[in-house]
Amino acid sequence: MARGDGTARAREPRGSRNEPQLEAGRAFCEAMLPRVSRTFALSIASLGEALREPIRVAYLLCRIVDTVEDDSALPVHERRALFDAFDDLVRDDLRSADAFVARSLATEVGGIGKADHELCVEARQVFLVFRALPIERRAALRPHILEMSRGMREYAGRADVVGKLRLADLHDLERYCYFVAGTVGKLLTALFEPEVPSMAHHARNEARARAVSFGVALQLVNIVKDVAEDFTRGDCFLPEALAAEHGLALDSLFLPDHREAGLAVIRAVCTRAREHLRRAREYTLLWPADEGAEVRLFCSVPLALALATLHEVEHGRDTLVPGRTPKVSRDVVFQIFGDAQQAIPSNDALASMLASYGSGAHRGASPAEVGASA
C-alpha cells in the first residue's frame, strides 16, 4: 500500500460523470450524521453553507476512525490495516478505499453499532465528499484527523496487548482525550478562523490556546457519563492510579461495597472536566457576537449539553448504576438550542445561559445543588 507524501495519487474526480456520485455521497453524509450523533447533527444544521459540509464530513471521518479504535471484535492485524487505509484516504489516495471497505464488510457487527458499521462500509462516499472540498479546507482538516488517527492507533494498540483499554493516571486520561477530542477542537478552530476575518489578533490567539480544552471537556463529560456502558464492553477510561488512591481496582468498580470509592473517582474526574469546561466557555465567548454568531451557536449547544450532563453525573441517581446512563432529555437538548439562539448576541447572556445549565438551574435545581456545582 502506497504511503506518505510520495503516494501515487488517484486522478482527481472531474466532469459531470462524477457529479451524480458526489451528490449521492453528500446525501449519504447528510442522512448518516443524525444516525451517529443527533446533537451534532442539530448543531451542524445551524451552520452556514461555508462551514456545514466541511464540519459534517470532518465529524464523519472522525467517527470512522473512532469506530476502528472502538471495535473490540477486530483482530489486531485487521485494525492496523484499517488504520493504514484510513490514513491513506485522508491523504487523498482513493485507491485505499476498496481495501478499507472490504475489511469493513468482513467485520462482524458486535463490538460496534450498526450505524457505525454502515458508516465504515460506505466510507468511500464520505471520502468522495472530503476530496471534493476546496483544497484549503482539506489542508485545514488533514493534519488534525491524521493526528487523531495516530493517537487512536497508539491507544488501540495498548488495548490489544492487554485485552482492554486502561489508562494509567489523570495525565494519561487527558492525553487520550487530547487525541480523540482535543484534535477536534484544533480542527474546528482551523475551519472557523477564515470565516471570522475581523476577529482581533489577541482574541484569535486566546481561542487557539483554548481550542484543545473545548474538545477535551466534551470528551471527559462523555467518559464520566458512559462509565457503565463502557464497562460492559470491557473498557474503563477512569485512571487506574486515581482508583488505587481510593483503594479500588477498576475491575471491581461496580461491586456494591465499592460504590462510594467509585463515586469518589468519578468526582475527581468531574473536577478536572470542570477546569476544561471553564476554558471551553472562554473559547466560545471569544468568538465575536456579530461575525462569529454561527460559531458561537455551534459551540454553545454541545457545551451547554456537556455542562447539564455533568450536573446529572454529579447530582443524579444514575451514575455508576449498571444499565443506566446519567443524561439529559431530548426536550432539554432542544431547549438548549433555543436558549443558545437567544443568548449568542450577548456575552453576558451567553455566559449566564451556560452557567444555568452547569448549575442545574435550567431544571429547577435546589439552591444547595446550584451552590455545590457553581
The per-residue pLDDT for range 132-152, each reduced to its tens digit, is 999 999 999 999 999 999 999
**What was the pLDDT predicted at 234?**
81
Q: What is the pLDDT of residue 1?
A: 31
pLDDT at position 75 is 86
Domain membership flag for residue 371: no
Please tell me the distance from the alpha carbon of residue 315 to that of residue 303, in angstroms, as a whole number: 18
| Alpha-carbon separation of residue 252 from 164, 243, 318, 324 (angstroms) | 15, 10, 18, 18
Q: Does residue 366 surpass a pLDDT of 50?
A: no
The confidence score (pLDDT) of residue 105 equals 65
Looking at 15-134, list the stretches that DSSP marks H as alpha helix, in order from N- to C-terminal side: 19-36, 38-45, 49-70, 76-90, 96-106, 114-121, 123-132
Q: Domain check: are 199 and 316 in the same one?
A: yes
Q: Which three cell numbers stand for residue 13?
A: 474526480
Q: What's the grid cell of residue 330?
A: 431530548
Q: Which domain holds residue 119?
A: 18-134
Higher pLDDT: 372 or 208? It is: 208
Of 243, 277, 286, 235, whose CA–CA distance to 261 is shortest? 243
Q: Bridge partners of 3?
A: none
- The count of other CB atoms within 10 Å of the CB of residue 325 is 16
| Alpha-carbon distance values, 325 to 69, 204, 230, 318 (Å) | 22, 37, 11, 6
Higher pLDDT, 65 or 374: 65
**What is the model's pTM?**
0.89
142: in domain: no
Q: What is the mean pLDDT of the chain?
A: 89
Judged against a pLDDT cut of 70, whether residue 3 lies above it is answered with: no
Kindly report the backbone phi and psi dihedral angles of residue 83, in degrees, each rounded to the nearest multiple of 5, phi listed first: -60, -45
SS3 258: helix
Task: Give the pLDDT confidence score for residue 320 in this predicted structure.
Answer: 93
How far is residue 157's CA from residue 295's CA, in Å, rounded to a whole number? 35
40 and 175 belong to one structural domain: no
User: What is the distance between the alpha carbons of residues 112 and 360, in angstroms, rounded to a whole number?
Assistant: 33
User: Domain tally for the chain?
Assistant: 2
Question: Contact at 8 Å (CB) between 144 and 190?
Answer: yes
246 belongs to a structural domain: yes
pLDDT at 317 over 80: yes
- pLDDT tens, 157-190? 998 888 888 999 999 999 999 999 999 999 999 9
Domain for residue 7, yes or no? Answer: no
Same domain, yes or no: 176 and 291: yes
If DSSP codes are grouped into helix, strand and coil, which group holds residue 248? Answer: coil
Q: In this structure, is residue 227 part of a structural domain? A: yes
Q: What is the pLDDT of residue 107?
A: 64
Cα–chain center distance at 358: 20
Cell numbers linked to 126: 464520505
The C-alpha cell that represents 368 in the structure block: 444547595
Percent of the chain topping pLDDT 90: 72
Residue 225 and residue 110 share a domain: no
In this predicted structure, the answer to whether residue 33 has a pLDDT above a threshold of 70 is yes
Co-location of 184 and 313 in the same domain: yes
Q: How far is CA 60 from the centre of its chain?
A: 10
CATH number at 235 reads 1.10.600.10
- Whether 184 is in a domain gets the answer yes
Q: Which pLDDT belongs to residue 61?
A: 97
Assess whether 197 and 119 both reside in one domain.
no
252-273 confidence digits (pLDDT tens): 999 999 999 999 999 999 999 9
What pLDDT, on a 0 to 100 scale, did the predictor assign at position 108?
A: 59
Closest to 243 in 3D by CA, of 166, 161, 318: 166
Residues contacting 78, CB < 8 A, separation 6+? 103, 106, 107
d(CA 99, CA 80): 12
Dump pLDDT digits (tens) for 108-118: 555 567 898 89
128 shares its domain with 182:
no
Candidate from 62-76, 106-120, 275-289 with smallest mean pLDDT:
106-120
Residue 109's pLDDT is what? 52
Same domain, yes or no, for 204 and 327?
yes
* pLDDT computed for residue 96 by the predictor: 80
Residue 199 sits in the same domain as residue 302: yes
Are residues 246 and 196 part of one domain? yes
Rounded CA-CA distance 326/306 in Å is 11
Of the candidates 284, 241, 291, 229, the residue with the CA atom closest to the CA atom of residue 265: 241
